[in-house]
A and B are shown apart, each in its own frame.
Chain A
Amino acid sequence: MAPSAAESPSAMQAERLRQDGNTYFKKDRFGAAIDAYTEAITLCPNVPVYWTNRALCHRKRNDWTKVEEDSRRAIYLDHSSFKALDLGRGANPQSYIVEEIWQELAKAKYQEWEHESNKRSWELQTLKEACESALKEKISLDSSQIEGFLDDTIDSNPAQLEAQLEALGQVFEKAAEPDLPTEVPDYLCCKITLDIFRDPVITPSGLSYERAVILEHMEKVGEFDPITREPLHLYQLIPNLAIKEAVQAFLDKHGWAYKTD
């Protein structure tokens, strides 16, 4: 699926449009570049580089939904061959586009979480203090009303207050738990990167790996499953959407897990 040397007239025209797009891109004329790449895509929809180039334009314009759409399409075309994969991510594996997008997104999401968790923790703290003083007030009020009746009730009041304050503390601790940075569960992490999944794929052994990393492994180390050592072929890698959703659900609840580096 890699763009073969332009054979048909439409492929040749698409290549010219890509070059036009590149020229516009260099001049920061992203709208014009998008139009050129779109025409190229209409002519030759199976050339991943047209999609990734257009994704880069959308990225410059902060149009993240479209970045994702185009990147997905490119990756769908991409992983059918290593050659195409190299095209998609450039010579440097770290410029793999999913990784780039992830880094940008994670940074923003982490900042958002920092901001909101600060707010939440401040609100909880205020509420907790209010509850504590209300509780203390209530108990002293109760004890003043029954004063003189039952001596032992008065004695148990400090203990009762203590217990209720402790229970209250636990309730608030529980409420703050999702915002407390801890470890990401192992089942949401790739066994090679040891990091939370971004784009998990599952192998016939039933194990999941980060796509970019398992591809690098197959290219550099060998075509086998890194854990079971069963033979493994590119076409056998399938996106693991269930894990991806689980990761998203976890991240929505625990924004600290967006922390990179």
Chain B
Amino acid sequence: MSSTSTGSTPPRQALSKIACNRIQKELVEWQVNPPHGFKHKVTDNLQRWVIDVNGAPGTLYANETYQLQVDFPEHYPMEAPQVIFVPPAPLHAHIYSNGHICLDILYDSWSPAMTVSSICISILSMLSSSTAKQRPEDNDRYVKNCRNGRSPKETRWWFHDDKV
């Protein structure tokens, strides 16, 4: 199951010039000033970033490392990037076992002023405030629906709450 979700690539459209410039600038900024707890090994693939996330000390995910996969759409930043965990994904009430993340800023509440760096910080804060390691209630149903390699951006999300 895990292979269907990460192996699936969103339809690859070449990045627009605006997107290219913007990602390039974010990459430079990341290299100078990476968000704390994250590591991105720069490759020549501008369109997909794979980022290591370290659980923050003193939280349920301390000493655990996960991987985020960020795919940029053609019209980034007018469209949100697709951000998922590469399975095994952390156990969390808003993270599905296929790596999809239920977080409003990645979908309806996206704003082009956000960056990969600010997304990373939001995800880490979501992990850090978790009080129990558990999957979302509808995990099995949702993951089954995504088996054909559907992108989380095609999901019609309803956002659980903003506490966790």
Contact = CB atoms under 8 A, between A and B. Distances in A.
Interface stretch (A25-33, A34-42, A77-85, A190-198): A190-198
A5 interface: no
Interface residues of B, number: 16
B22 interface: yes
A223 to B, nearest CB: 12
Contacts of B113: 191-192, 226-227
8 contacts: A193-B21, A194-B21, A195-B25, A213-B18, A221-B110, A226-B112, A226-B113, A261-B17
Interface string A123-141: 0000000000000000000
Given A192-B112, A221-B111, A226-B111, 8 more contacts: A94-B16, A192-B77, A193-B18, A194-B21, A195-B21, A216-B78, A220-B75, A221-B112
B26 interface: yes
A194 B26 contact: yes
A115 interface: no
Nearest to B25: A194
Interface string B49-93: 000000000000000000000000001011100000000000000
Contacts of B26: 194
Interface of A: 94, 191-195, 213, 216-217, 220-221, 224, 226-227, 229, 261
Given A192-B77, A195-B21, A217 B112 contact: yes
Contacts of B29: 194
Interface of B is mostly: loop
Interface in B16-59: 16-18, 21-22, 25-26, 29
A220 B111 contact: no
Contacts of B112: 192, 213, 217, 221, 226
A194 B22 contact: yes
Nearest to B16: A94
Interface string B110-142: 111100000000000000000000000000000
Contacts of B21: 193-195, 261
A229 B111 contact: yes
A217 B111 CA distance: 9
A92 to B, nearest CB: 10
A19 to B, nearest CB: 32
Contacts of A191: 113
Nearest to B75: A220
